Structure 1
């Protein structure tokens, strides 16, 4: 877990629509100055035509940012009752 530039665990799939909530969340993550994280369900064309994501910006630590991003993603996933596409995973954190 390196500090500084952050780590990308896998490249998140971002919808081409700049108004999509996941595109907005990832851009906010990139722009954030503090400890932040972005979580998403892995995009699999065969399994699903959508992704679910969550993020948390400017947390007191990288670990906290990751935990809260996961909670955000899981909450969204539960809200939409998503059954395909996999579970939430941290895509990037800093």
Structure 2
């Protein structure tokens, strides 16, 4: 009698733990396809080729913590765009810092 009671209690407790743990399994998902936080929309003129559109596409499909930084683009006033992408960094903050530093270095250089 006691053995049956113990088995039923154990199964009930384990089933309850499984129900509570199941929602946490789905939260660890890939970051691929996620734009994350942005300060302004990134728009490239139609037919744009070059490093910046390629870097932005790579940023969007990266599976880890990644960041994309670019100078603001205006067709009227800007002749060039400087950009940088850091893909699959150890953390979001590290990716953002590296992308910003690289972009700022490009602005100083040109």
Q: TM-score, structure 2 length as denominator? A: 0.61
CA distance in 2, matches of 1:33, 1:54: 17
What are the equivalent positions in structure 2 for 1:31-46 lying under 5 Å apart? 31-46=61-76
| TM-align CA RMSD | 1.9
In structure 2, the residue matched to 1:76 is 106
Ranges in structure 1 where 5+ consecutive residues have no aligned partner: 81-94
Q: SS in structure 2 opposite 1:63?
A: helix
Whether the 8 Å contact between 1:40 and 1:53 is mirrored in structure 2 is yes
| Deviation (angstroms), 1:61 | 0.9
Structure scoring higher RCO (CA < 8 A, sep ≥ 6) equals 1
Aligned length: 77
In structure 2, the residue matched to 1:52 is 82
In structure 1, the residue matched to 2:7 is none
In structure 1, the residue matched to 2:55 is 25
CA distance in 2, matches of 1:71, 1:45: 25
| Deviation (angstroms), 1:58 | 0.6
Higher strand share: 1
Whether the 8 Å contact between 1:13 and 1:42 is mirrored in structure 2 is no
| Deviation (angstroms), 1:70 | 0.3
Q: TM-score, structure 1 length as denominator? A: 0.71
Whether the 8 Å contact between 1:34 and 1:59 is mirrored in structure 2 is yes
